[in-house]
Chains A and B, each alone.
Chain A
Amino acid sequence: MEILSLLGSGMLLAMQPLNLLLIFVGVTVGLFIGAMPGLGSVNGVAILLPITFLVPPSGAIIFLAAIYYGAMYGGAISSITLGIPGASTAVATTFDGRPLARQGRASLALVTAALASFVGGSVANVMFTLFAPVLASVALSFGPPEIFALMLLAFATFVGLGGDDIPKTIFSICLGLVLGAVGFDQISGAPRLVMFDINGFIQGIGFLVLAIGVYGIGEMLWTIEESRGEVESSNPKMTMRGMASDAAEATREGWKGATIGSFLGFFVGILPAAGATPASLMSYGVAKMTSRNPKEFGRGKIDGITAPESANNSASTGSMLPMLTLGIPGSPTTAILLGGMVMWGLTPGPRLFLDEPDFVWGLIGSFYISNLAAVLINLAFIPVFIWMLRMPFSILAPMIFVLSIVGGYAAMNDMFDIWLILIFGIGAFVLRRFDYPLAPAVLAIVLGPIAEPTLRQSLLLSSGDMSIFFTRPIAGPITVVALILIFLPALKLLRRGGAKRGDKAA
């Protein structure tokens, strides 16, 4: 009861006119920043941080949290309408969101993504309110072996994502991981994999460079070539009744994915090193694995949108938990929020709930209001996003190319990266022609910089003994499940081969 009364007073604080205005402005700004390829919540929060000195600390953090919420909703928009994931958290949304949009059902995809994000955010808010201190201590029990086991589990779900050609999928995963290792060795600081001695590689290869190359350039070249340059621009209809029926279909077909994404996403989100990207990917993988029709995934399945979208929103709220209760940021955006809190004279950590209850509960209350505001504003703007899809393809295609190059430069500020985007784009086009799946590479480049240090720290702890991943109570079961998932497709193929030989012999 005490929690409810604290939450009630927090919500009242969040609903004060100034804070309510900040929430609506923050969510709208965040929605458009998130929808822009190359810009994500981290840009919005970082750029608008100085503005927050004009309002009291509670209003400031509410404003930044609203931007964060808006951007998490917005990430799905470019994934669905343009096929370019604006942020790593929205990569998995392209798998089914884009095919649905190309079938002329972009409205359904956008409504589904908005509602799934709302469900994910709501579940996470309730979990946050009820279990914050307990979950923070669970997250702390995750050391390097546990985090690496979790990464292994994420890679295992990639194998399922890549289709039947397992060697090509494994190649793609390893390519993404190796590209993620370019630059500096994180532990010794020595330059590593500086290819052809080109200095540009010293700063590493960012996720966005590969993602924009693969999805913004490679995918577009492939679409233009396959369609002979005559892509029919989809002409999605948009009416209030249509949106209501889309919402009903999204609920009917996507509840399972949303349930998986909301709970799994929150749990992965609270782990300090993980975050919304592995959360959305793992939720997609689990939704596909537990589906009765896994082959429908990748062709516009509703569960394929609800799982990652609910997960990335749930994980974003979850990643606030270690920041507030322990002072450990779970993502780059929460790291900036943490910096902001320190600047406003607040000390994140276990005592924050006791010392600054108004601030903490005002923030938690604002999560609920921001989530509601985000879904309403997102739904209201869907006709604008749909309008983009009505453009003739011969206008949309060069716009996507321009957005890819400009977005890539805005994020990296380096022309070398723009040339890399082009090279990756043309390379992706060629590899796609030869059936190499590229989504695993894009996701692996995000997770590689988390997986490598945790593997090395784990092996240092065990003096090189790999059994550390099997003997610890949390890491052990996760590792075993991951290995089963990795070897399951291979076993299936062997069984299928055996059955064929048996048929021939008969």
Chain B
Amino acid sequence: MRYGEIATAGVLALFSVYLMWKSAELPIGYISEKGPGGGAWPFWLSAIMLLSCVCVAFNWWRGTSPLSQSDAPFLDGHGWRMLGLVGGGLIGFVGLIAVISMYGAIAVFLLYYLRFLGRHSWALSLGVSLATPILFFFFFEGAMQITMPTGLPFTDPVFDFLYEIIY
């Protein structure tokens, strides 16, 4: 964690500099009879962010922050595995929305999580992963009238059938 803290402060400092540079695309000073320019607010806030990163680095150098004295790794093997399986599952979930619709992606993600990560029985996994998107469909599309992405055209017959029920 010791080197992780200074590396994070470095990355955040670079991000702050990038934000300052982007903010400066608009005026950052005081314009007579117009007030502060459009970039002033984010520019000076980003400058304070940069200053905060310098302070974090200074505290790290002095060894006053708990993390600057920690030899623990950022994540151990289990942590990386968890991040890969859960984080990867989430990325897959969001990626699938454009293909098999929001409701289809919910079903696939729940089945993946419950059966393969949670090690629940097939009956429970299938039951929850099918019931949840159906319930969500009638709540959002029927009651709240909020339309969710329906994916590629091959899902149309399913949605035509479901829309016929609620309209």
Contact = CB atoms under 8 A, between A and B. Distances in A.
Contacts, number: 165
B146 interface: yes
A229 B84 CA distance: 13
A225 B91 contact: no
A221 B83 contact: yes
Contacts of A185: 26, 38-39
Contacts of A342: none
A175 interface: yes
Contacts of B159: none
A234 interface: no
A36 B6 CA distance: 39
A147 B35 CA distance: 17
Range of interface residues on chain A? Answer: 35 or more
Nearest to A187: B38
Contact of B128 (A165, A175, A395, A397): A395
B49 A178 contact: yes
Interface in B1-55: 1, 4-5, 8, 12, 18-19, 22-23, 25-26, 30, 34-36, 38-42, 45-46, 48-49, 52-53, 55
A457 B118 CA distance: 54
B97 to A, nearest CB: 7
A323 B8 CA distance: 46
A459 B36 contact: yes
A355 interface: no
A217 B78 contact: no
Given A177-B45, A225-B79, A170 B52 contact: yes
Contact of A419 (B34, B49, B94, B114): B94
Interface in A396-445: 397-399, 401-402, 405-406, 409-410, 413, 415, 418-419, 422, 425-426, 429-431, 433-435
Interface stretch (A100-108, A188-196, A469-477): A188-196
A228 interface: yes
A394 B114 contact: yes
A228 B67 CA distance: 21
Contacts of A58: none
Given A190-B26, A195-B22, A415-B149, A178 B45 contact: yes
Interface residues of B, number: 65
A97 to B, nearest CB: 24
A192 B39 contact: yes
Contacts of A217: 90
A314 B39 CA distance: 36
Contact of A178 (B5, B19, B52, B83): B19
B136 A181 contact: no
Nearest to B113: A398
A459 B35 contact: yes
Interface in A213-272: 217, 221, 224-225, 228-229
B36 A395 contact: no
A455 interface: yes
A43 B139 CA distance: 13
A167 interface: yes
A437 to B, nearest CB: 12
Contacts of B30: 459, 464
B79 A168 contact: no
A406 B140 contact: yes
B117 interface: yes
A193 B42 contact: yes
Contact of B144 (A39, A181, A430, A457): A39
25 contacts: A167-B59, A178-B49, A181-B45, A192-B25, A193-B19, A193-B22, A221-B86, A224-B86, A225-B82, A228-B78, A394-B119, A394-B120, A398-B109, A398-B110, A402-B106, A406-B102, A406-B106, A406-B148, A409-B148, A418-B94, A422-B91, A430-B8, A433-B74, A434-B67, A455-B36
Given A167-B53, A401-B93, 15 more contacts: A177-B41, A177-B42, A178-B19, A221-B83, A224-B82, A225-B75, A229-B117, A398-B109, A398-B118, A401-B113, A409-B148, A455-B41, A456-B36, A460-B35, A464-B36
